[in-house]
Chain A
Amino acid sequence: GDSVTQMEGPVTLSEEAFLTINCTYTATGYPSLFWYVQYPGEGLQLLLKATKADDKGSNKGFEATYRKETTSFHLEKGSVQVSDSAVYFCALAYTGFQKLVFGTGTRLLVSP
């Protein structure tokens, strides 16, 4: 079946450091890929998405590129802030079939 694998956390960085959170997927077809973020005490919210191979999703300084050849969708940010501390979830879904398959989440802790 389809699945999403994320790197284990927590990821601990100092402010202004470069961030990479790895995400790989296994899929039988050609899904859309998503990154969701969950801030403490809140629900998940969409951070970015990409719908086909080589697409790049971007938002709030974060970006991720849909790599079909490596089945990956790694999240990157050039300079993290303390306010980026949260749990990040990678997910996939097929157009027309609404069910999201989530990874286990990666906690990011950014210190001043």
Chain B
Amino acid sequence: DAGVIQSPRHEVTEMGQEVTLRCKPISGHDYLFWYRQTMMRGLELLIYFNNNVPIDDSGMPEDRFSAKMPNASFSTLKIQPSEPRDSAVYFCARGSPGGTQYFGPGTRLLVL
């Protein structure tokens, strides 16, 4: 058990709709990461937080994407408006001392 819960596990939506992905890491770890995985682009780091503060969001594709971490055990990734090219598996991971990251099971997003 990686100690990371993601919801929903699957999401199907129509282009233009708002999508919110949720991540609940077990508390006690300072770092939280959001990744996106597609066949074409592989695994991409979107953004990561340290102590709930965004540190590096250079991987966020564009202004349609936003992420928040209001407390140590909850984070959201929002896409508004969604587009078909956003279809991917989105992973949340918590960091631990020494660089090891523990990944959640992912949210599979399909935008029609």
A residues apposed to B, CB below 8 Å: 31-32, 34, 42-46, 49, 51, 89, 93-95, 97-100, 102, 104-105
Please give me the 6 A-B residue pairs with the lowest Cβ-Cβ distance, nearest first. Answer: A93-B99, A43-B103, A98-B95, A98-B31, A44-B103, A32-B99
Judge whether B104 is part of the interface by a CB distance below 8 angstroms.
yes
Residues from chain A with a CB closer than 8 A to the CB of B103 are: 43-45
> When the two chains form their complex, are residues B2 and A49 in contact, meaning their CB atoms are under 8 A apart?
no
Binary interface encoding of chain B residues 24-63 relative to chain A, with 1 for a CB under 8 A from any of its CBs, else 0: 0000001101000000001101001010000010000000
> When the two chains form their complex, are residues A95 and B98 in contact, meaning their CB atoms are under 8 A apart?
yes
> When the two chains form their complex, are residues B43 and A102 in contact, meaning their CB atoms are under 8 A apart?
yes
> When the two chains form their complex, are residues A32 and B98 in contact, meaning their CB atoms are under 8 A apart?
yes
Residues from chain A with a CB closer than 8 A to the CB of B33 are: 98-99
**In whole angstroms, how far apart are the Cα atoms of A71 and B79 in the complex?**
39
Nearest Cβ on chain A to B7's Cβ, whole angstroms: 14
Partner of B101, one of A31, A94, A98: A98
B residues apposed to A, CB below 8 Å: 2, 4, 30-31, 33, 42-43, 45, 48, 50, 56, 91, 93, 95, 98-106
For the residues of A in contact with B, the DSSP-based class is strand
Nearest Cβ on chain A to B11's Cβ, whole angstroms: 15
**In whole angstroms, how far apart are the Cα atoms of A11 and B101 in the complex?**
25
Residues from chain A with a CB closer than 8 A to the CB of B91 are: 43-44
Given contacts A98-B50, A98-B95, A99-B48, contact A46 B100 (CB under 8 A): yes
**CB-CB nearest in chain B for A46:** B100
Most A CB within 10 A of own CB, among B43, B99, B102: B99
> When the two chains form their complex, are residues A95 and B2 in contact, meaning their CB atoms are under 8 A apart?
no
**CB-CB nearest in chain A for B95:** A98
A-B contact pairs, 22 of them (CB 8 A): A31-B99, A34-B99, A34-B100, A42-B105, A43-B104, A44-B43, A44-B91, A44-B93, A44-B103, A46-B101, A51-B98, A93-B99, A95-B99, A97-B99, A98-B30, A98-B31, A98-B33, A98-B95, A98-B99, A99-B56, A100-B99, A104-B42
